[in-house]
Amino acid sequence: METTSANRSNDNDSDMSNDDEYELFNPVLASIRLENLAEYASNIRNSLVQHSGNFKAATVGSLMFGSYHVLYPLEFDDGVRWLFKVPINGTRDKFCDLDGRSIRSEALTMRYLQKRTTIPIPDVFSFSDSCANELNCPFILMKYIDGKPLYDIWFDKTQPNDVTEARRTKSLQGVAAAMVQLSQVSFEQAGLLSFSGLNDDIDINPLEIGPLCLLNNCAMLGRMKDDDYDELPIYLEAGPFRDPKDYFTAVLDYREKGPTSDFTRGQLILLRMLLGWIPEPELRDGCKPFVLAHPDLDIQNVLVAEDGTLQGIIDWDGVCSVPRSIGNERFPSWLTRDWDPSMYGWNEEMERGVEPLGVWEDSPETLRKYRSIYTGFVQSFADSNGNPVFGLIRNSLICENLFIAANDPVCTSGILQKVFGEIQDLVRADVLHSASSDEEGLEEFDIYNISWALSENRLSEHYSKLLKLGFHLLLKGKEVL
C-alpha cells in the first residue's frame, strides 16, 4: 500500500516543480491541462446542484504534493472548496490499466462507504480512470476537508500536557468510532472492490473483488542499481485472495524469487513461518473473512479540529478488502512505530522537548498507553454490537508489523528482531516456570542462529517447537503490548 507524507503547499511564487525534490512530478505536471480545470469543476458542480445561477471556480490554489500525488485546491465564488488529485504516474505513457482499475475502485469505494457509514470521507464529485478527458490525466475531484493535520495537534509542544492528552484521546475516540463502522460490510476475498456503475450511479454496490495493487518496495530498491532509474512507484498486481495467508505472503513470494544472501533467505523463511501461524478470528453469523480497511491509517491522513475532534480521514488510495487480523480494527500506524525499529526515531531528548531533525516520536511507554486507550475505544464501539475484539486489536500490532516486514526489505530485519525478542523472552520464562531441563538447550535460541539454521535446512524439531510455542504465547497475552 502507498504511504504518503503530509502535503506541502507552495507558499511563495517560485515554481516548486523545478526544485530537485519535486523533479519527479514534472512529467505529470506538464501533462495536466490546468487551464481547463476551473471550468470543468464549475460544470461538474452545476450538474450536481440545483442553483439559479452558475458556479464559478474563482481560483485554482497553490500546488500541493503528496508522496505519489499532486493536488490542486479549488475555491468557488461562494467559498466552497474542492480538491483535484492526480497520481504521479498520471501520464499517457505511464498510466496503465491496473492503475486505472485502482483509481476507479478508490473513487467508487469512497462513494460506497459514504452511503453506508458516517465516516468523514471526502465527497467524490467526479473522477477519471484514464487520460482520455479534457484535463488529460486520471484524477479524483473531491471535497476539500477543513481541519488540522493530527500530527500538529498530537505533537503541539506549546500546550500543557493535560490539554495535549485530552486532544490525543479525543482524536483516538473519533478514529476508533470511524474505523469500527467498516465492519458493516465483509467479503469472501481480499482485493480491490470492482464496480460496474458509472459516475452518476445512485445505488452503488460492488459486483466483485478484483486484483489489488501492492507497493513493490523490493522492486523499487532493486532498480536503484541502475544509473538512469526513476523513482516512480512500482506496483505488484496480486490476488484476489480467498486465503488470508496468501494475502500476507504475496510480496514475499516475489521477494523469494530474487537473489538473496543465505542469511536473508533464512529470515524470509522465518517470516513465512510466523505469517503462517497467524490465526484469523472466528467468524460470527453472516460475517465473512475479509473487511475493508484504510490503506494507510497514519497520522498525516487524519484531520482534526483544534480540540482533537475528527474532521476527516483522507488518502484512500489503494483501499481494498483485507484479512480481519490487519483489518479495520487494527491500531493506527502512529501507535505502532516502536515495533518497526528501522522507521522509529525516538530518543530521550524528545522527552525533554529537544526538537528532532526529523519528526517527533512518542516513547515506547507513551505508545503503549495510547494503544491501551485506543483498544478501549474500539471495544466500546464494537462490543456494543456483540463483537468481542480485544484479541484482534491487541494482536494486530504483531500481524501488521509482520506484514510490513514481508513487504518492505528495509523493515524486515528490525521487525523480525523485535518480534523474535518477544518470543525469546516468553520461551525462556516458560522454560523456567516449568522447571524444564530444556533451559540449557536455549543457548542458541536467537534470531541469528535460527535464521542460519533455516537457510541451511537444519533447524531442529526442538527449536521449531519452541519457536511456535513462543509465538502462540505472544498472541495469547491478556495485556496490551
**Are 120 and 312 contacting, i.e. CB atoms less than 8 angstroms apart?**
yes
Per-residue confidence (pLDDT) for residue 259, from 0 to 100: 77
Q: Can you say whether residue 459 is alpha, beta or left, with left for phi > 0 and alpha for psi between -120 and 50 degrees?
A: beta
C-alpha cell at 464: 521449531
Q: In whole angstroms, how large is the CA radius of gyration of the chain?
A: 24
Which SS3 state, helix, strand or coil, does residue 357 take?
coil
Phi and psi angles of residue 453, each rounded to the nearest 5 degrees, phi first = -65, -40
Least Cα distance to 111 among 119, 102, 123, 129 occurs for 123
Calpha distance 128→145 (Å, rounded): 21
Beta strands in 274-350 (DSSP E): 290-293, 302-304, 310-313, 320-323
**Per-residue pLDDT tens digits for 193-219:** 998 765 445 456 677 999 998 989 988
Beta strands in 334-459 (DSSP E): none
Per-residue confidence (pLDDT) for residue 442, from 0 to 100: 84
Torsion of CA 396, 398, 400, 405, to 10 degrees: 180
Phi and psi angles of residue 362, each rounded to the nearest 5 degrees, phi first = -95, 155
Least Cα distance to 274 among 409, 412, 428 occurs for 412
**Are 381 and 176 contacting, i.e. CB atoms less than 8 angstroms apart?**
yes
C-alpha cell at 287: 460475517
Q: Which residue is it, cell 524444564?
A: 436
DSSP letter string over 225-265? GSTT------EEEE--BSSHHHHHTHHHHHHHHS---HHHH
Give the number of other CB atoms < 10 A from CB of residue 436.
Answer: 12
The answer for residues whose C-beta is within 8 angstroms of residue 142's C-beta and 6 or more apart is 82, 83, 85, 110, 122, 123, 124, 125
Calpha distance 306→302 (Å, rounded): 13
Least Cα distance to 362 among 53, 105, 370, 119 occurs for 370
Whether residue 240 is preceded by a cis peptide bond, meaning omega within 30 degrees of 0, is yes
- What residue spans of 132-237 are helical by DSSP H? 150-154, 161-180, 217-222
Structural domains of the chain sorted by starting position, each given as residue range(s) with its CATH number in brackets: 18-144 (3.30.200.20), 150-190+241-476 (3.90.1200)
Find how far residue 60's CA is from the centre of its chain: 29
The stretches in the chain having pLDDT less than 70 are 1-21, 50-55, 197-205, 227-229, 384-387, 435-440
Burial environment of residue 191 by CB neighbours within 10 A (0 to 12, 13 to 18, 19 or more): buried
**Are 126 and 44 contacting, i.e. CB atoms less than 8 angstroms apart?**
yes
**Are 6 and 360 contacting, i.e. CB atoms less than 8 angstroms apart?**
no
Per-residue confidence (pLDDT) for residue 433, from 0 to 100: 72
**Are 374 and 172 contacting, i.e. CB atoms less than 8 angstroms apart?**
yes
Calpha distance 143→97 (Å, rounded): 26
Query: Parallel, antiparallel, or unpaired: how do β-strands 192-195 and 186-187 relate?
Result: unpaired
Torsion of CA 10, 12, 15, 17, to 10 degrees: -20
The dihedral built from the CA positions of residue 377, 379, 385 and 391, taken in this order, carries a sign that is: positive
Find how far residue 105's CA is from the centre of its chain: 16
Calpha distance 297→432 (Å, rounded): 40
Phi and psi angles of residue 467, each rounded to the nearest 5 degrees, phi first = -65, -45
Calpha distance 236→208 (Å, rounded): 20
**Are 126 and 199 contacting, i.e. CB atoms less than 8 angstroms apart?**
yes
C-alpha cell at 237: 498486481
Per-residue confidence (pLDDT) for residue 426, from 0 to 100: 95
Which SS3 state, helix, strand or coil, does residue 209 take?
strand
Least Cα distance to 480 among 380, 392, 411, 384 occurs for 392
Q: Which amino acid is at 410?
A: V
Least Cα distance to 168 among 6, 299, 331, 353 occurs for 299
